[in-house]
Structure 1
Amino acid sequence: MKDVAEHARVSVSTVSYVLTDPGPVARELRDRLLDELRLLEYSPNESARNLKRRGAATIGMIVPELTNQFFAMVTEGVQRAASARDVLVVLVVPDASELPEEKQAQLLRSQRIDGVIYLSGTGSMPASIYELARSGPVVLVDEQIPGLDLPAVVCEARKGAREVATLVMEHGHRRVVVVGGPPSLWTAQQRLAGYREAFAGAGLDPDSVPVLVGDYRQASGHELAARALAADPRPTALVCMNDLMAIGAMEYCREVGLRIPEDVSVVGFDDLPVSALLTPRLTTVRQPAHDMGFRAASALFDLLENDESGAIGELPAVVQVRDSVCPPRSEG
């Protein structure tokens, strides 16, 4: 700004007024200064500007992996909100870098970031991320971590799970297996609670429904479907806690010649873009992934600018009824 001021023969404060637009500057002078700024290819130093105003220049985001489309869509939502404010996002993907979350958090600290958006892959918070939360705002997305009073952007996981399991029950299924996620994750706990409510509401003892523990990956769904469908009598429906495991389950069914939904019905959770392109199209629960990322970033910016804190609330989860569920041929 000093170079611009000298070139235009005005004070540095006048240049600052034109850049930030809070001060009274004559129109002719403002236009002349804007021409000088373009001529000199002036680019404001966001880190320096951040020292002068409350806000963010750089935020960090920790996401378990990007091969899961849901995580990628959340990340896109964060980037969209950050771009609108000219904020840089430093992305940390522990699975891709083969570094533990502790090491990744230390790396973020070294980047002098202003805040963090954390999508946990473990259901817990490493000590180094907890330290980040003590020195700057941290917003959780798609998870809540027991014992930590941190703002979180989540969807109505329990309600969505209850409604999709109720749909399965309404089609007459009683021999059901749940293809579950990691029990330590809040999402898995909420979805299982919703399923159990639907089973109980249909007169089925929730404790009688087998729950096979997976890891939210496609290979896990394939493996657990093989185990579930080896039972005698064979289950007529697989209730999968996410779309990737549902896709793995459907892959196994095709390999062994089981028709979906005639021989076995399958439902998922997330509504990944690919889910509507499968054959048959997957009945699932839609989470607004982009909106969750956008809301998480917006919440982080609010914390940085206004010191507002507290829970953000739940976004709607909506069942997408497609072609992968029909009444069972026989329960006998």
Structure 2
Amino acid sequence: MKDVARHAGVSVSTVSYVLNDSGPVASSRRARVLDAVRVLEYTPNESARNLKRRTTSSIGLVVPDLTNQFFALIAEGVERAAAERGVLVVLCAPEATDRPESIHARLLQGQRLDGVIYLSGAGAAASSILELAKAGPVVLVDERIPGFDLPAVVADSRRGAREIAAYVLSEGHRRVAIIGGPSVLWTADQRLAGYREAIAAASLDPDEVPVAVGDYRQESGYRLAEELLAGPADSRPTALLCANDQMAIGAIEYCREAKLRIPQDLSIVGFDDVPIARLIAPALTTVRQPAREMGYAAAGLLFGQLDRAGEGDAAKPEPPLFAASLRIRESVAPPPGS
């Protein structure tokens, strides 16, 4: 700004009045300032301006897996909320670089971001998240860290899992198996609990239901389906409850290669309702989580924390709990021979 003022032959305050439209400036002086801005190719430093105004300029967004459509939709919601406030979103994707999340946590701290939204869909170490929380506000999406008071935007995964398992069992299935998510994740634990509640309500023993632990990626769904369906046809599961759509799609891929028809030979369900779920054949029965809305709400929660900085815990609003709703399509039918 000093360079612009010197070039235009005006004071720094005059340059500020013109750039911020915050004070009266004669038309001739305004023209000289704008001409100097053009000649010098001056661009205001938004971070410095926002720091002076004490407003938010940039936030971080940690996304574990960019190939997962559910995470991409959450990122869209975050970006939309940030764009409405003129805030920059810095994307961090640890899986894309094969670097530990602890390294990315330090990188984000060094960027002087105002806050971070964290998607921990692959089992991130709690220490990385807590390290970030020491530097500024952190909001979790689709995850909680039991024992730590970090705000989290989640859907009712337990209820959604209970409803979809009850639907599969109502179709007559008694030999079911579960492809669950990473055991370190709260959401995976919630979905497993919901499945087990529905199984117990159907007068079956949840402890006798096979559970294979995946990592929410398509490849693990393929591999675990191969393991669970390796037995004779009269004893293997007639339905797979998959803890997300990615693993369900992997299981469907294996079944196609193994010449197993869905849903005639095997029923499969997922969780999340990503866009491709209704486009594959057969269309996947799943549980919908409103991903975009969750991302938008997480950004709003973070901005609210930043706006209320210094007001204490009493000012914290309760994070929203989103509904998880059943989407019945074509991948479930009564078991063979029923």
The CA distance in 2 between the partners of 1:168 and 1:237, in whole Å, is 8
The DSSP-based 3-state class of the residue aligned with 1:322 is coil
Residue 89 of structure 1 corresponds to 89
Residue 323 of structure 2 corresponds to 316
Change (3 A) 1:29 1:191: farther
Residue 139 of structure 2 corresponds to 139
What are the within-5 Å matches in structure 2 for residues 45-60 of structure 1? 45-60=45-60
The DSSP-based 3-state class of the residue aligned with 1:154 is strand
Residue 245 of structure 1 corresponds to 247
Residue 126 of structure 2 corresponds to 125
CA displacement 1:20-54 (0-9 Å, x = unmatched): 67x6x57x979x95996598356432111222223
Residue 61 of structure 2 corresponds to 61
The CA distance in 1 between the partners of 2:8 and 2:252, in whole Å, is 68
The CA distance in 2 between the partners of 1:234 and 1:34, in whole Å, is 80
The structural deviation recorded for 1:211 is 0.9
Change (3 A) 1:88 1:262: same
Instruction: Indicate yes or no: 2:208 matched with 1:204.
Output: no
The CA distance in 1 between the partners of 2:70 and 2:165, in whole Å, is 21
For structure 1, the 5+ residue unaligned runs are: none
Instruction: Indicate yes or no: 2:280 matched with 1:287.
Output: no
CA contact (8 A) 1:101 1:126 kept: no
CA contact (8 A) 1:124 1:145 kept: no
The CA distance in 2 between the partners of 1:126 and 1:311, in whole Å, is 24
Change (3 A) 1:300 1:260: same
Residue 40 of structure 1 corresponds to 37
The structural deviation recorded for 1:243 is 0.6
Q: Which range moves more in the overlay, 115-124 or 136-145?
A: 115-124
CA contact (8 A) 1:61 1:118 kept: yes
Residue 181 of structure 1 corresponds to 181
The CA distance in 1 between the partners of 2:90 and 2:36, in whole Å, is 31
The CA distance in 1 between the partners of 2:91 and 2:329, in whole Å, is 35
The structural deviation recorded for 1:132 is 2.5
Percent identity reads 60
What are the within-5 Å matches in structure 2 for residues 19-38 of structure 1? 37=34
The structural deviation recorded for 1:318 is 1.4
Q: Give the letter for the 2:331 counterpart.
A: S
CA contact (8 A) 1:212 1:224 kept: yes
CA contact (8 A) 2:155 2:321 kept: yes
CA contact (8 A) 2:8 2:36 kept: no
Q: Give the letter for the 2:231 counterpart.
A: A
CA contact (8 A) 2:218 2:246 kept: yes
The DSSP-based 3-state class of the residue aligned with 2:126 is coil
The DSSP-based 3-state class of the residue aligned with 1:285 is strand
Change (3 A) 1:139 1:34: farther
For structure 2, the 5+ residue unaligned runs are: 310-314
Change (3 A) 1:131 1:329: closer
Residue 312 of structure 2 corresponds to none
The CA distance in 2 between the partners of 1:206 and 1:298, in whole Å, is 39
The structural deviation recorded for 1:85 is 1.8
Runs (4+) of structure 1 exceeding 3 A deviation are: 1-21, 32-44, 308-311
The CA distance in 2 between the partners of 1:38 and 1:287, in whole Å, is 52
Q: Give the letter for the 2:85 counterpart.
A: R
CA contact (8 A) 1:299 1:312 kept: yes
Q: Give the TM-score of the pair, scaled to structure 2.
A: 0.87
Calculate the aligned-residue CA RMSD, in Å. 2.6
The DSSP-based 3-state class of the residue aligned with 1:330 is coil
Question: Which residue of 264, 267, 271 corresponds with 1:265?
Answer: 267
CA contact (8 A) 1:268 1:282 kept: yes
